[in-house]
Structure 1
Amino acid sequence: MTDPQRISFTKMQGTGNDFIVLDNRTYRLSAAALSACAAEWCPRRYGVGADGLLALDDSQTPTADYRMHYVNADGSRATMCGNGARCLFRFAQAAGFETDTLTFDTDAGLYRATSTDDERALVRLFVPEPTDVQFEVVLDEAVPGAIRALHYTHAGTEHLVALVDDVEAIPVRDWGRRLRHDPSLAPTGANVNFAAVDEDGDVHLRTYEKGVENETLSCGTGVLATAVVVQRLGRVEADADVRVHTRGGELRVGTTNADRSAERYLEGPAVPVFQGTVSRPE
């Protein structure tokens, strides 16, 4: 007999950005319950350990195959997660959605994903063009001098893009926390992406994520935000795909045709790690 207090999950990761993934069509957990689960299960060493929780649910629009819920490690709800969306696509396929392309609802709108390379577990996530792009933003508090320029955009969620010479020289946790909480960004705050462009036009990126309140190995929407900013600034070729190197691996941002007029996409791996069961929070 199935224990109603136990939840089955799959641990997944996309370039080291890791998630607890569950099928909420079975458990019917409310938004508040999902937040409580994330806050209890995501802490490392004390729980399963993850950057966030993903829940597959019934679609809320006739054009979507399913609904994606995403909750940060601290229990706060997030509008979108690029690495998480690719992982949930793989999870949905294993849960019975067997087509190569799936469309799904999120708090940031309708998205679509497809498999591009099963051997390397690559998933291509088609994304809306980032909005509210602001160059050379000025914050209320002082910005460290090693940041050459600071930009802002919304790529499913809020992002600062801080251009630096060497991402490895940046104290991401300290500077990210400070910038993320700048009063000018209230009340939502922003994820903080420290980016450098090398001589080959590749982007090297480290991200401090709000809701995790720490550096993560990769942030999909941060990769997208940064790629769009550096392209519009002319730091990389306007008609080329952008390769972004995170601490967890490489992601690619491109469009579906050469003149850049079609859909933009974020492509990278989505990998199951293990399965397990865990008790519901009391």
Structure 2
Amino acid sequence: MRFAKLQGSGNDFVVIDNRDGKVEEFLRSLNLDIKEFVKKVCAFHTGVGADGLILIENPENPENHFKWQFFNSDGSVAEMCGNGSRCAVRFAFDEGIVGKEVRFETLAGVIRAYVLDGGKRIKVQLTPPKDYREVSLSLDTQSIEGYFINTGVPHFVAVVNDLEKIDVIKLGRAIRFHPEFQPKGTNVNFIEREGDDAIRIRTYERGVEGETLACGTGATASAIVAYKKGIVSKKPVRVLTKGGEVLAIDFDNDFREVFLEGGVVRVFDGFLRRELFEC
């Protein structure tokens, strides 16, 4: 089965054109469920290795160009993924499925996107953020203040003074599974001011269950929080990711139109062999 691997700001994804339903046929032939399929493909060392897997499918509404199914590396379904959406659009553009202006369907709603620089940069308009609130959490050894906001998926944002000293895995996991955010939990972002229009970020991602090099919806959530709280005063907000790339987040004054822009790389194409799923 043919696939491509793409990465946006260090978030990497396996993308498969499933408009002909070949994935379901493949799963039936192996008596395998989709969750196990995703876990085997995304596993580092024994599989392709990726933060998530994306299936490109036919849209339910013919006015849109495609629909996606998005899976985290543990096989769980996510409503939205900012960097994943940019990789999906780049793949669809490369394959001739879309032109330079795109509409595609996600569980978070219809996403608009724009192909720039021949596909090397992708700009997506995310769904309007919701459920913003200030949150105070009591953990086992400390308390932490932060902000909750949903930018297609839930995010907690904490402002810190020394980003590099944060134990993202330990603290992120404690917040991710905190009773405040049950039953689904939340993604967790730690941010530090870098200038009037810039922040640095580190993110613990739900579903990956670890720190990732970048998170598009997390960068968006963090940029909005930073702007709302006066941590930055100019926009677009530049978000410096753990992977070293910079994401640009822009929005109108009432946050009804929110855009995420950054680079995308098509890393390689390959074929999945049945042997991977039979061992």
Give me the TM-score of the superposition, normalised by structure 2.
Answer: 0.90
| Other-structure match for 2:61 | 61
How far off is 1:214 after superposition? 0.5
Deviations 1:213-248 (A, max 9, x none): 0100000000011111111112111x5210000012
Counterparts of residues 5-24 of structure 1 (less than 5 Å): 7-24=1-18
| Other-structure match for 1:211 | 207
How large is the RMSD of aligned CA atoms in angstroms? 2.0
- C-alpha distance in structure 1 between counterparts of 2:130 and 2:64, whole Å: 23
Q: Is structure 2 residue 237 aligned with structure 1 residue 242?
A: yes
Deviations 1:12-50 (A, max 9, x none): 000000001101113443598432221111111121100
Deviations 1:132-163 (A, max 9, x none): 0012x023534746x5x311011100100011
The SS at the match of 1:96 is: coil
How far off is 1:199 after superposition? 3.5
- C-alpha distance in structure 2 between counterparts of 1:143 and 1:223, whole Å: 27
* Paired letter, 1:138: S
Q: Among residues 167, 173, 178, which one is paired with 1:171 in the alignment?
A: 167
| Other-structure match for 1:231 | 227
Deviations 1:184-230 (A, max 9, x none): 21110000001111244311000000110010000000001111111
| Other-structure match for 1:82 | 82
| Other-structure match for 1:278 | 272
- C-alpha distance in structure 1 between counterparts of 2:141 and 2:230, whole Å: 23
| Other-structure match for 2:262 | 268
Distance 1:79 1:49, change over 3 A: same
- C-alpha distance in structure 1 between counterparts of 2:229 and 2:117, whole Å: 31
How far off is 1:261 after superposition? 7.0
Distance 1:62 1:26, change over 3 A: closer
Give me the TM-score of the superposition, normalised by structure 1.
Answer: 0.89
Counterparts of residues 96-135 of structure 1 (less than 5 Å): 96-118=96-118, 121-135=120-134
Identity over aligned pairs, percent? 39
Check the 8 A contact 2:128/2:256 in 1, yes or no. no
* Paired letter, 1:240: K
- C-alpha distance in structure 2 between counterparts of 1:224 and 1:91, whole Å: 22
Q: Among residues 139, 142, 147, which one is paired with 1:141 in the alignment?
A: 139
Query: Mean Cα displacement is larger for which, 153-162 or 191-200?
Result: 191-200
* Paired letter, 2:103: T
| Other-structure match for 2:149 | 153
| Other-structure match for 1:41 | 41
The SS at the match of 1:26 is: coil
| Other-structure match for 1:221 | 217
Gaps of 5+ in 2: none
Check the 8 A contact 1:64/1:104 in 2, yes or no. yes
- C-alpha distance in structure 1 between counterparts of 2:17 and 2:267, whole Å: 16
The SS at the match of 1:139 is: strand
Check the 8 A contact 1:172/1:207 in 2, yes or no. yes
Query: Mean Cα displacement is larger for which, 74-83 or 246-255?
Result: 246-255
- C-alpha distance in structure 2 between counterparts of 1:268 and 1:33, whole Å: 33
Check the 8 A contact 2:108/2:127 in 1, yes or no. no
| Other-structure match for 1:51 | 51
